[in-house]
Amino acid sequence: MKTKQINGFTHVEHSIPNFTLEESEERAQEFYRQLDQRRTVREISDRPVSEKLIQNLIMTASTAPSGAHKQPWTFCAVSNPELKTQIREAAEKEEYDSYHGRMTDRWLKDLAPIGTDWHKPFLEKAPWLIIVFKKAYDIIDGEKVNNYYVNESVGIACGMLITAIHNAGLVTLTHTPSPMNFLSKLLERPGNERPFLLLPVGYPEQEVYVPDLERKPLSEVSKFYK
């Protein structure tokens, strides 16, 4: 393997498949077609999902780029039924308060087409909950050392996790109970980790309904400068 030294560190030659422009176009179109079929699904069945499959999804997410390659994340995968029940109960308590006063009328109106409320049965029914924690800092030799671009890094990793979940034929939703600190307590996470996102993961129920949404066209989400 070819290598070179930069700042005294070894860089290794990295090979990237050499597609023609037509092949790249074809692949980009096909990948768009696949990801355009992804929907947030709240009706998750209790059909079993193996630990091996969840491990692969997490390893895929953990390939995400991160500030100075610190990989400032921990993916907690919960299948333990008692723990899932505790998470559901704590989340529903917060969500009840959110839907009954903490959220603005405008916010509730914006959510009406989505059809969400404070009930979160998927937190118990889904075979797995993946709770993503961000590491604001690491402890190195007993000292706090800050990580870089933590929200960006963990957000990108979550995007890749959601993509991997869809690719495997599973479904998920991005659940953000607020406030989320009960997750640190229930999962006994160390002080440098903060909850970022909760993703229930599983196969969909036999029959699933999603809001009849349309995605913005290219012209609304982009501007080209040629």
Which spans of this chain sit near ligand IYR (rule: CB under 6 A)? 95, 111, 114, 116, 175-178
Choice between 100 and 144, CB closer to ligand IYR = 100
Q: How far is the CB of 177 from ligand IYR (least distance, A)?
A: 6
Q: How far is the CB of 125 from ligand IYR (least distance, A)?
A: 15
Could you write out the DSSP letters of every residue in 39-88?
A: -----B------HHHHHHHHHHHTTS--GGG---EEEEEE--HHHHHHHH
The C-alpha R_g of the chain, in whole angstroms, comes to 20
Beta strands in the chain (DSSP E): 3-6, 9-12, 73-78, 128-135, 137-140, 143-146, 171-172, 193-202
Choice between 48 and 121, CB closer to ligand IYR = 121
Choice between 177 and 195, CB closer to ligand IYR = 177
Evaluate whether 159 touches 132 at the Cβ level (below 8 Å).
no
Question: Across the strands, what pairs with 137?
Answer: 146
Q: How far is the CB of 211 from ligand IYR (least distance, A)?
A: 11
Tokens of 75: 């993916």
Choice between 60 and 116, CB closer to ligand IYR = 116
Q: How far is the CB of 120 from ligand IYR (least distance, A)?
A: 7
Question: Across the strands, what pairs with 101?
Answer: none
DSSP class of residue 202 equals: E
Choice between 97 and 205, CB closer to ligand IYR = 97
Evaluate whether 133 touches 192 at the Cβ level (below 8 Å).
no
Q: How far is the CB of 123 from ligand IYR (least distance, A)?
A: 10
Q: Output the residue with the shortest Cβ distance to ligand IYR.
A: 116
